[in-house]
Amino acid sequence: MLLGIYEREVSDLLPQVFFKRSVFVNFGAADGFYALGVLTSGLAERVIAFEQCEKSRNILVSSATLNSVSEKLTVRGKADELCIIKLASHLPLNKSVVLFDVEGAEYTLLSEAVFSALNGAIIIVEIHRLRDIGSQVVLSTLIKRSGRAYKVKIIKQASRDPLSLPFTTMLSDDEAWLLCSEGRGYRQVWAVFEPSVIM
């Protein structure tokens, strides 16, 4: 995160998808890497962040205060399907970007009803491998649930180059490459669901 290479695929994507959009909804906001990032960079004017961990929520609120963006941020706890559908009815969906990074819960949260409720928003989903369901099955299931309302773009984790970082000359080869690891047990994949019809 400090080096600017953490989930670079998503970081590079966000400025593109916020074209003419100003609301960001972040499910699985953790300590606010994306929620605060889009506010402090000026990509979003309003953020609604859902995070079930109380400690992470507290960090998120404190960081928002330190960065003078508290008035633009709403922090909530754990979300469920009904909560998402209800929230969607109050959102300007054609001005919204929604990110799900919920450690596998995307498989249950993103039902056909949720996809239908969020129709008009751009939805970015980090795909996780579950204990008894592979990530490819999770991905294909979500694509099927999204139906014809969305065009789906798959983004795969790209390579990292530790030699492009200015201070790596002071490190051994092993240390430099370890800096690029995000500690994942498999290559990460994201799905971007864009509305088939611009509303």
**Domain with 179 in it: what CATH number?**
3.40.50.150
- 128-171 per-position pLDDT tens digit: 988 888 889 999 999 999 999 999 999 998 777 777 777 777 88
- Whether residue 135 is contained in a domain is answered as yes
pTM of the model: 0.90
Q: Are 155 and 99 in contact (CB under 8 A)?
A: no
Two tokens, residue 173: 């080869």
Burial class (CB in 10 A: 0-12, 13-18, 19+), 154: exposed
- Whether residue 3 is contained in a domain is answered as no
pLDDT at position 169: 77
- 45-103 per-position pLDDT tens digit: 999 999 999 999 999 999 999 999 999 999 999 999 999 999 999 999 999 999 999 98
pLDDT at position 133: 87
pLDDT at position 187: 76
pLDDT at position 139: 94
pLDDT at position 199: 52
Which residues are bridge partners to 48 per DSSP?
25, 74
- Whether residue 23 is contained in a domain is answered as yes
- 13-37 per-position pLDDT tens digit: 999 999 899 999 999 999 999 999 9
Two tokens, residue 10: 């998503």
Distance in angstroms (rounded) separating the CA atoms of residues 83 and 143: 21
Q: 3-class DSSP state for residue 199? A: coil
Q: Burial code of 71-99, b = ≥16 C-beta within 10 A, e = fewer? A: ebbebbeebeeebbeebbeebebebbbbb
Task: Count the domains in the chain.
Answer: 1
Q: Is the pLDDT of residue 184 over 90?
A: no
Domain that holds residue 47: 8-195
